[in-house]
Chains A and B, each alone.
Chain A
Amino acid sequence: MQRDWIAPPAPGLALRLDGLRKQFGARAVLDDIDIDVAPGEFIAIVGRSGCGKSTLLRLLAGLDVPTAGDLQLGGKPATAHRDDVRMMFQEARLLPWRTVLQNVQLGLAAGDARDRARDALAQVGLADRASDWPAVLSGGQRQRVALARALVHRPRLLLLDEPLGALDALTRIEMQRLIESVWRELRFTAVLVTHDVAEAVALADRVLLVEDGRITLDEPVMLARPRKHGAAAFAQLEGRVLERVLGEAPPDVAQVAPTRLAA
Chain B
Amino acid sequence: MHPTSRSWRAIAPWIVPLAILLAWEASSRSGWLSVRILPEPLAVGSAFWHLLVSGSLLHDVAISTGRALGGLAIGGGLGLVLGLLSGTFRTAETLLDTTLQMIRNIPALALIPLVILWFGIDESAKLFLVAIGVFFPIYLNTYHGIRAVDAGLVEMARSYGLKGWPLYREVILPGALPSILVGLRFALGLMWVLLIVAETISAQAGIGYMTMNAREFLQTDVVLVGVLLYAVLGKLADLVARALERRFLRWNPAYLGAPA
**Interface residues of A, Cβ cutoff 8 Å to B:** 61-63, 82-83, 86-87, 89, 91, 93, 95-99, 106-107, 131-136, 149, 153
Contact = CB atoms under 8 A, between A and B. Distances in A.
B259 A106 contact: no
Given A61-B159, A82-B161, A93 B152 contact: yes
Bin chain B's interface residue count.
20 to 34
B176 to A, nearest CB: 11
Contacts of B160: 86, 106-107, 149, 153
A91 B162 contact: no
Binding site secondary structure of chain A: loop
Binding site secondary structure of chain B: helix
A99 B259 contact: yes
Contacts of B260: 99
Interface in B144-180: 152-153, 155-157, 159-162, 170-171, 174-175, 177
A98 B152 contact: no
A245 B249 CA distance: 46
Contacts, number: 54
Contacts of A107: 157, 160-162
Contact of A83 (B152, B161, B175): B161
Most chain A CB inside 10 Å of its own CB: which residue of B152, B159, B251, B252 = B159
A89 B170 contact: no
B253 interface: yes
Interface of B: 152-153, 155-157, 159-162, 170-171, 174-175, 177, 249, 251-253, 259-260
Contacts of B153: 93, 95
Given A89-B152, A89-B156, A93-B153, A133 B161 contact: no
A180 B134 CA distance: 56
A95 B259 contact: no
Contact of B251 (A86, A93, A133): A133
